[in-house]
């Protein structure tokens, strides 16, 4: 899809959106067809790095100990969770659910992944928030920075699903660039005839067809 087509759709969506007293998100609605979503291999579950970012804060929590925990704090992680808190959270499901809802992404020291899966998998897994493991020696600051420009696209078993692509305070060109990045990723996972349509809208505004 040509960038100018996406850009025009974004501009139209922004123009048609009534002005609110808060900054609205820009959402993308993806509609599929001719695909059996009951089969897990047909479902979309992708992390996409947006070239222009989201234009708003993205919260990243880190499970880590020792030196890695110190580096995570210095890198600006929103929360650093020590190993001894994993089982505590696992036994306190309401608190674990709050943690999951308040953070967009989780990353973890690789050695902690088994205990996280055992204690917190039932809470984080269904929400698509199981941590990405941090390889030994990896630059955690780069991990966090990359996640703050990332959106998760999950269809589950639905033919229609949504993702955020920015906010209305961003330049239309930046939002369009983000949308094109998502479309390109979808086209690597699906045949083009499986994409029925894609629409863009502000949180409260009318939708405009992109594809």
Chain segment 180-208, per-residue pLDDT in tens: 999 999 999 999 899 999 999 999 999 99
| Amino acid 137: pLDDT | 87
pTM equals 0.88
Residue 1, pLDDT above cutoff 60: no
Mark whether 202 and 154 lie in a shared domain.
Answer: yes
* 79 vs 103: CA distance, rounded Å: 9
| Amino acid 66: pLDDT | 95
* 15 vs 11: CA distance, rounded Å: 6
Q: Read off the CATH number of the domain in which 154 is found.
A: 3.30.190.20
| Amino acid 2: pLDDT | 39
Mark whether 119 and 187 lie in a shared domain.
Answer: no
In total, how many domains does the chain have? 2
* 148 vs 12: CA distance, rounded Å: 27
What is the span of the domain harbouring residue 131? Answer: 60-147
Mark whether 88 and 160 lie in a shared domain.
Answer: no
- With contact defined as beta carbons under 8 Å apart, do 106 and 130 qualify? yes
Cα of 55 vs its chain's centroid, Å: 13
Whose tokens are 């973890």? That residue is: 108
16-55 tens-digit pLDDT: 999 889 999 999 999 999 999 999 999 999 999 999 999 9
């Amino acid at each position: 899809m040509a960038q100018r087509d996406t850009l025009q759709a974004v501009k139209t969506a922004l123009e048609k959106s009534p002005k609110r007293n808060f900054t609205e998100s820009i959402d993308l609605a993806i509609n599929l067809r001719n695909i059996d979503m009951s089969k897990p291999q047909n479902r979309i579950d992708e992390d996409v790095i947006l070239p222009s970012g989201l234009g708003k804060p993205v919260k990243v929590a880190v499970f880590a100990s020792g030196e890695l925990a110190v580096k995570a704090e210095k890198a600006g992680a929103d929360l650093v969770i020590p190993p001894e808190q994993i089982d505590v959270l696992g036994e306190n499901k309401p608190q674990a659910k709050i943690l999951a809802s308040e953070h967009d992404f989780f990353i973890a020291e690789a050695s902690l992944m088994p205990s996280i899966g055992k204690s917190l998998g039932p809470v984080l897994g269904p929400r698509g928030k199981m941590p990405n493991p941090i390889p030994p020696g990896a630059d955690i600051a780069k991990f966090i920075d990359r996640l703050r420009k990332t959106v998760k696209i999950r269809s589950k078993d639905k033919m229609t699903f949504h993702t955020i692509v920015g906010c209305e305070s961003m330049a239309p060109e930046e939002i369009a660039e983000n949308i094109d990045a998502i479309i390109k990723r979808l086209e690597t996972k699906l045949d083009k005839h499986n994409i029925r349509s894609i629409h863009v809208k502000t949180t409260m505004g009318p939708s405009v067809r992109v594809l």
